[in-house]
A and B are shown apart, each in its own frame.
Chain A
Amino acid sequence: MDVTGLSLTTITLFLPMVGLAILLFMNGETQKANLKWVAFATSIVTFVASVLMWINFDPSTADLQMVQRNTWAEVSLGESVINISYFVGVDGISMLLVLLTTFIMPISILGSFGSHIFEERGREKLYYIFLMLLEWSMIGVFVVHDLIIFYVFWEVTLVPMYFLIGIWGSEERIYAAVKFFLYTMAGSILMLIAILYVGNRSGTFSTYSAGGDIGVIERVQTWEGEGTYWDAADPEAEGEDAGFLLNSVESWLFLGFLVAFAIKVPIFPFHSWLPDAHVQAPTAGSVILAGVLLKMGTYGIVRFNLNLFPEATVAWAPTIAFLGVVGIIYGAWVSYAQDNVKKLVAYSSVSHLGFVVVGIFALNAQGLQGATLQMVNHGISTGGLFLIVGMLYERWHTKEMADYGGVWKVMPLFGAISLVISLSSMGLPGLNGFIGEFTILLGSLGSDYLGFVFTLLATLGVIMAAVYLLKMFQHVFMGELKRPLSSEDGYKLTWSEKAAFIPIIIMIFWMGIQPIVFFNMLDVSVDSIVALFVR
């Protein structure tokens, strides 16, 4: 049975498409000044819609809410019939990430106002169309619960980002865009194979059960109860007593999903596309990339790897968490060695997302809640850092740290804002970054699957965050002003720049001082996942 009727989720999902349609019919030359306003207004309306979702959201249940499900196709494959359906809805985790997406979008659009890239490259209309397409597909990734449709949205996000980097990026933009595309696509193909296999075995692509149709997650659990598992030919090898075998089917499926997500996150050592993409992307691209796109990877791990393959998750947890720990330290260390501001911030993402990975694979409530919150925190603080770098670049046209210095002296407000955002990124208690990191690390120590050494090494990352971020702050903002601008007016922040920072600063303090409302949103949803791993 289908749960039909227009849900709020669908409305939120398709609002960016409305904006896209309007943009399509506008004249890129004569109405040039209005393009950004249409995009901005659309993103604001979408944000309002997502806030309405939040208001309607009931945090006391782990079930999907604001669900809509329409069966599209019933594909016959041999004996089985497989459903593909338009299946959207949110639980706490999805809700939070949808909010993050709709929150970041208006900020990154504001960050594009009056940017020099349009003077150089033009095509403003196309630019905003891609942003709208990007928002649509990102929200889609977070709300869709059908594996095939998820895969489609997942792939669609690549296209606008590819063009954003490729058209409006810096000097090496083509190389960066292609690399970004190749890496993500390589992982996606493995995921597609895994998805097809899972769908074939389950007879449905819907992950959750809805309206009488049993979803993949529930089927997996039922099969477990019957003693037959994925590989019916060799059930003993898969049984609990026999221990988990790495070459079992579940493990391969787990890895199929994981590689796709790991490249996106990126988990060490799959990160080498990231510095290129970040450094070459225009400001809005970097902000969205760091703010939302990377979270699609960690979200995917939580949503699919953990839910669908709990045994494989348990077996792989220490390994993946170890990669997370390596990422924390390695990312921080490499970040510290950079001379390019944007690259420094880019590598810091590897370090920060390492925390998220450790939190996820702690497989307990603290770790998972902390990880989800850290996704949001990282989106806000690193998104903020990329905005800062973008504004610096707009003025000085360089990304080399050696060319900066003393910016705080001429831009006092900007310096103070940058300090707050840097501190948030390095996890100063009382600001948002700390909440996530602390909860994750707390979770890792009490985890059944990780333990003391993981916590110890990951906590070292907290020291190192201060090392590289203070290096950046000192070199850019302190010391003597090396390159005064020709005009004093250049030092002023424009209204759109100020407006972009205000919500970021508010969130930094809100989530740092009163994160309860966010924990509440996640609590029950996360608990239902954690229940799979209680020993």
Chain B
Amino acid sequence: MENLPLLVPLVILVPALGAFINFFFGAKFEEKWSGYIGCFASIFAFIVSLILLTYVTGANGAAAVVNPPFVDGWLRIESIGLDISWQQRVDSLSVTMMLVVTGVGSLIHLYARGYMHGDKWYPRFFAYLNMFLAFMLILVTGNNFLMLFVGWEGVGLCSFLLIGFWWDKKAPEGWNNSNAARKAFIVNRIGDFGLLMAMFLIFWTFGTLDFHRAGELPNTEAKYLVHWREHNGLLEHHEETDKEAAGDAHDKAYKCVPAGGDDHETADAHADDGHGAPNPLASDIRAIYCDNDHFDIALLGVFGQTTERFGAGETVDFGSFQMAFDDVILLIALFILLGVTGKSAQIPLFVWLPDAMAGPTPVSALIHAATMVTAGVFILVRSNVFLWELNHGGYVIGLVITLVGAGTALMAGYIALGQWDIKRVLAYSTISQLGFMVAAVGIGAYVAAMFHLVTHAVFKALLFLGSGSVIHGVEHGHHHAHEHGHGEDHHDDHASPHSDGGAEGGFDAQDMRNMGGLRKRMPITYITYLIGTLALAGIFPFAGFWSKDEILADAWYEGFELNELSGFIAFGVLLVAAAFTAFYMWRQIVLVFLDQPRSEAAEQAPESSGAMLLPLLILAFFTLIIGFINVPKATPIFDGIYHPYEFKHFLEHSLISVSRGRTLDFNLSIAGIALALGIVSILVANRIYKGKGLASGNRDLLEAGGASRPLFRLANARLYWDELYSAVIEQPFNRLASFLADRVDWDFLHNYFHDSIIKRGFDTIAELLGKPFDLGIVDGAVNGVGAFVQRAAEWMRRSQTGYVRLYAVVIFIGVVAVISLMIYPFVQMLLAGGS
């Protein structure tokens, strides 16, 4: 058990190796072998993650810090104690992310084998997917901000490569693809700027970038179940669980003391939480509290130090300026938030994500829905100590985060109402759901945020893969209808309509207006898509119901019980966003699957192959059950048969704020309101769209009506965000670039300054020096030399390069002289030795 965490480097190395093999040798294999390698790497990483899960659950509250092999440290300047290492962290939070990334990732790899079949860059696609996994796992397992940042930018790179995967398509499609890729990278870089600034501040404040040091306990306020033994009449911590595995960096480890005076009661209290209820404590297992008191505060990680130092009125000295410790933390949190708005597509940096749908659909599912975009939520949850301390120290950071998250949820949900592209609806839906998670962090519901992250990863991956299946089917149908049978060249433009709304030959296989009635043609896709939709809409008992309900319950509590503004805002806004969610998803179901086919392609669309359907079925199954991992207490029916808050207890040992925060029971009225709202929205959408298809002129039924027309058009135009950014940022940026380059740099510095100052100056000097010779002063005195100099002077004036040549001659003479001088001592030595 102790040594299991040593496996964690494999989750990075194996996918990295897979990427390497596929990238360099992929072209030499048959297609299927590329797929096998990619899938193997991913599934292998998943299995390792499962093993790590057993470690984390097995050793209660255990967390491990692992130094991977082959790399000895990283950024290390010994004289000033800067030491940032390649170091991985295995704790419940990182294992949760690992499972999501590799679990969903493996299914998407399997799916991609079918979806990408026949693509000429098949091996490269799997190389990129594997590379993405490697970077994503660096991101989630890193034990310091810098390693997280490596993953953070690395996944950004993979995202760039995969969004632009089909950059070589005919213009303008290929160019649009690469534009979307570039946009994603650059917008994310703006976020990365925030993260960089945060890291600089963190380093000078804490002297380290480590989250927690080896041997340090992340949560000193949770209760731990550990083995104890009697020793010299004192209770002593059992050796085997004494320190975190591989805690070799420090001698000191956390120390445990019995909780209160009555161990038994504490244990009972713990059991009362429901976690250990059926687990009668063995005689040597005690519930105890542990602390990090054996550590010097300065040797603690960033979060441990924050817990100790916040609110003490300390001042941080940055050399040239000073700042109150608490203010620095606020600044750090705000910079991190900027990073989050980039990677997790929040206002104001979300604009790259809709365009990112230009990538192949498996990419949209894996990177732009399930995993990469949740990295922002992950880093916020990881930084919960900052946020908790700030919120309880009188700073309004929680409100700011809530505004960003809730605002994004509402805005993106609204835009999704008016989209035609099946993937774009899902993209805006993803932005909206990420807003839910961020808002949850804002109101302090870290577990709820992670819970929604997990469930959303599953059902949104399902929906994206389902949409991929639909697109695939419609394309096949299109070919079938127009070419009467699948041509051999099918795969050449197989991918073409997958990009940014491009409509090759006037037909767009992603446009929902070209669909309809697919229920009969693609039954399995339909059923699984329906399950995903219900989950996203928050319908009982699907996954989304549980996680969304938890966020709403927390928001309600924050607002109506604690009277926090952020709670009111989150509750009200998210409720509306949830209604939007149910509405646009049902609109999609009706337009895509129900009613009658609206195109020949849709009429003839075949069901997808088994390779693509199997992952859909597996994901659908998990969409049904994944919500049960964190059923709240006092939930009717479930209460009797199931442990409540499994997920919360699992995460608790990584997150101190969870122990400090509240644990809410199931709130029937809030669940009822949310559920009713979802069902009503679906019914309304059903009433509007069912059986009517489209209004005349292929318009949406909302567009046809009077009052809803401007609202629909506004949503359809995506609230003019892109136009706004183009006018306010992009165009001024480009104009200023041209001005600087052409006017300032070239015309002024390069030409004018050079011609009128530098060159004229040289000419003048040359003239001044040459003049006495011209006047014949020297000439008359020494005729021969004078003649030479005069000639040289004229030469100098005639040719613009004259003085350079002269100078070169002088230099050459100098060189000869210097070399002679250099050799001279040796000659002398030789002579001395010889005599």
Contact = CB atoms under 8 A, between A and B. Distances in A.
A478 B193 contact: no
A523 B79 CA distance: 7
B320 A451 contact: yes
A466 B77 contact: no
Nearest to B812: A159
A435 interface: yes
A275 B750 contact: yes
A174 B344 CA distance: 53
B530 interface: no
Given A366-B82, A459-B196, A448 B759 contact: no
Nearest to A152: B818
A70 B200 CA distance: 47
B336 to A, nearest CB: 14
Contacts of B705: none
A435 B818 contact: no
B149 A182 contact: no
Interface string B141-167: 000001001100110010000001001
Interface in B312-336: 318-321
Interface in A207-233: none
Interface string B823-835: 0110001000000
Contact of B196 (A462, A470, A519): A462
B540 interface: no
Interface stretch (A37-45, A102-110, A301-309, A332-340): A332-340
B490 interface: no
A156 B200 contact: no
Contacts of B750: 272, 275-276
A447 interface: yes
Contacts of A470: 182, 185-186
Given A182-B762, A448-B319, A466-B185, A523 B200 contact: no
A447 B319 contact: yes
Contacts of B82: 365-366, 442
Given A86-B821, A159-B808, A183-B758, A479 B77 contact: no
Contacts of B282: none
B740 interface: yes
A483 interface: no
A527 interface: yes
A439 B168 CA distance: 38
A271 B192 CA distance: 29
A438 B736 contact: no
Interface in A419-461: 423, 428-430, 435, 438-439, 441-442, 445-452, 455-456, 459-460
B74 A516 contact: yes
Contacts of A435: 75
B788 to A, nearest CB: 22
A412 to B, nearest CB: 9
Contact of A441 (B153, B200, B762): B200
Interface in B454-513: none
Nearest to B194: A459
B78 interface: yes
A158 interface: yes
Interface string A139-168: 000000000010010011011001000000
B814 A152 contact: yes
Given A365-B77, A439-B75, A455-B200, A155 B814 contact: yes
B196 A337 contact: no
A406 B320 CA distance: 49
B800 interface: yes
B634 interface: no
B71 A514 contact: yes
A447 B801 CA distance: 45
A4 interface: yes
A111 B130 CA distance: 34
A463 interface: yes
Nearest to B170: A480
A186 B320 contact: no
Most buried by B among A73, A272, A275, A450: A272
Given A70-B825, A430-B150, A480-B168, A442 B200 contact: yes
B189 A462 contact: yes
A524 B79 CA distance: 7
B815 A152 contact: yes
A73 B78 CA distance: 42
A73 B167 contact: no
A513 interface: yes
B189 A178 contact: no
Contacts of B821: 72-73, 86
Given A337-B742, A474-B178, A514 B164 contact: no
A80 interface: no
B502 to A, nearest CB: 14
Nearest to B809: A159
A268 to B, nearest CB: 9
Nearest to A175: B800
A397 interface: no
B175 interface: yes
23 contacts: A4-B825, A70-B822, A72-B822, A155-B811, A159-B815, A162-B808, A178-B801, A182-B758, A334-B745, A369-B77, A408-B168, A429-B150, A438-B146, A445-B201, A445-B204, A459-B197, A460-B193, A470-B186, A478-B167, A513-B86, A516-B73, A526-B79, A527-B79
* Minimum-distance CB pairs A-B, first 4: A337-B741, A451-B320, A337-B737, A478-B178
Interface of A: 4, 70, 72-73, 86, 149, 152, 155-156, 158-159, 162, 174, 177-179, 181-183, 185-186, 269, 271-272, 275-276, 330, 333-334, 336-338, 364-366, 369, 406, 408-409, 416, 423, 428-430, 435, 438-439, 441-442, 445-452, 455-456, 459-460, 462-463, 466-467, 470-471, 474, 478-480, 513-516, 519-520, 523-524, 526-527
Given A72-B825, A446-B319, A526-B79, 20 more contacts: A70-B822, A73-B821, A86-B825, A182-B804, A271-B749, A272-B745, A333-B741, A428-B153, A438-B146, A448-B320, A449-B320, A451-B319, A451-B320, A466-B189, A470-B186, A479-B171, A479-B178, A514-B72, A519-B75, A519-B78
